Structure 1
Amino acid sequence: MTADQYLYQILSREAVDSGPHSPARGCQALLLPIIQQWAGNQLAGVAPSGSFAKGTANASGTDIDLFISLKSDTTNTLREIYDGLFEWMRNHQFSPRRQNVSIGVKVGGFDVDLVPGKRQDPLSGDHSLFRNRTGTWTKTNVATHIGLVSGSGRLDEIRILKLWRNQKRLDFPSFYLELTVIEALRTVYYGSLSANVWMVFEYLRDSFMTARVQDPANTNNILSDELTQEAKMTIKRTAIQALSAQHWEEIVT
């Protein structure tokens, strides 16, 4: 079995149903009435927004992200929106967890991250999100994120790197990882999956520590600041270990 065959076999095993009967859609259908009751007439929409929407999900260890879009004329502050959703989910017996911009709940064995945001205007997809860790807010555009990643042509490489991250228990936020893979392969032709993944490991070894990664929907949001230098060094060291491995089975399974 070649290296490419081995990696594609893993991707096949980890394939995720993204159709109308997928886990993401099932969780969305179950949660939608509860979210509608909470948001009332201020709800603009609820939709998958993370790896399921981008095409970078793996069957193992993937959260389901649901983006809750509130209308631009919502009068509540971003903190009130975030805290209000948390209390609403707790009152409905979901044992919610406060995260950074999301609220985590369990639905039918799946980890679901609820991301509440308020539209900045009625026409654009720009939203304001509350940052729980800092008590501040940030602007982002989920549609921009989805379009950039899903159209990158690097979904297989991203999925392999996500599996590697999870199996090595690395702290590496998903969107930061996705943009890092895209940047590492920016000048590389499409071709051998294993060769491309190898180049990503080389990038993590050589350039990752000093690379400045911005949110493409908000250049003031520096994604690379989400990790400490110590956390970045752990990623670099683990990439160096991958580059010294004799077999792919030592890198990802």
Structure 2
Amino acid sequence: MSDHDMGIGLDGRQYLNAILAREAVDVSFLSPAFSAKAALTPVINSWGGNLVQSVSPSGSFAKGTANASGTDVDLFISLHPSTTYGLREIYLTLFNALRDVGYTVRKQDVSLGIRVGLIDVDLVPGKQQTPLTTDHSLYRSRADTWTKTNVQTHIDVVRAAGRQSETRIIKLWRDQNRLEFPSVYLEFVVIRALQLNFSGSLAERVWTVLRFLADNFAAVRVVDPANGSNVISDDLTLAEKLAIERAAQFSLTQQTWGSIVR
């Protein structure tokens, strides 16, 4: 199937590649992610002391799925397995430590959101479960419970899938349609939608993802590859999933890529 067959013109590949170039993210040591880490590391070390094993960029930045516009910087804080504090206490004491030094802090389920200069930063504190694994336990503030996950597994799965370009376009589409669609969930959905898809055209692959979202997306079950009992698709309500379906269905009726994503 060609771009023309999809009714959206022959310039889809050029158009989408131009968007990707515009939205390219700085990954150097002068980048926003590393600047935020440098600014926050003293605060984090003061809070956690020698229990802090590492503070590392994670999320979209580490996976190669970030866009220059509308992307938070994710920093994962790994605490030593010997940490005796409970997960709720870890989360709340970090909240207090950030607030005490002047940050306005937002509770965002497993993360704490702050603004460092012009940069939105999501801090995710986690306690390593044992020295033999990189699995971590995270506090989930919305449900006042905990979950097990592995941030490095998420990074490895997304990088190995090689769907960064398609994911970045769909993230822009999500943001421009003001949809509630967590990035981790979105990334795994794009990978699922493009399983065994060997199309040479970026436009065709993005179109395939939109068709996947438009076609009963609400019924698709997505689980955490690092923890089969963590159902990522449960993070959205049925109404939020149906909003994604409707937005994708509308996009499929458009005649130009400029009407779909910009």
Do the two structures share a fold, i.e. TM-score over 0.5?
A: yes
Paired letter, 1:103: L
Paired letter, 2:29: P
- Equivalent residue in structure 2 for 1:7, among 16, 24, 31: 16
- 2:161 matched residue in structure 1: 152
Correspondence 1:71 to 2:80: yes
User: Partners of 2:200 and 2:77 in 1: how far apart?
Assistant: 38
Q: Unaligned regions of 5+ residues in structure 2, if any?
A: 1-9
- 1:166 matched residue in structure 2: 175
- 2:129 matched residue in structure 1: 120
4+ residue runs over 2 A deviation: none
- 1:100 matched residue in structure 2: 109
User: Partners of 2:27 and 2:147 in 1: how far apart?
Assistant: 29
User: Could you give the per-residue CA deviations for residues 48-78 of structure 1, whole angstroms, max 9, x where no partner exists?
Assistant: 1110000000000000000000000100000
Query: Equivalent residues in 2 for 1:1-253 (5 A)?
Result: 2-253=11-262
User: Partners of 2:57 and 2:112 in 1: how far apart?
Assistant: 14
TM-score, normalised to structure 1, is 0.99
User: Could you give the per-residue CA deviations for residues 165-216 of structure 1, whole angstroms, max 9, x where no partner exists?
Assistant: 0010000000100000000000100410000000001111114121110000
CA RMSD across the alignment: 0.8
Paired letter, 2:147: T
TM-score, normalised to structure 2, is 0.95
Please state whether the residue corresponding to 2:161 is helix, strand or coil: coil
Q: CA deviation at 1:95?
A: 1.0
Does the 8 Å contact 2:140/2:146 carry over to 1? yes
User: Partners of 1:174 and 1:190 in 2: how far apart?
Assistant: 24
Say which structure, 1 or 2, has more relative contact order (CA 8 Å, 6+ apart).
2
User: Partners of 2:159 and 2:28 in 1: how far apart?
Assistant: 15
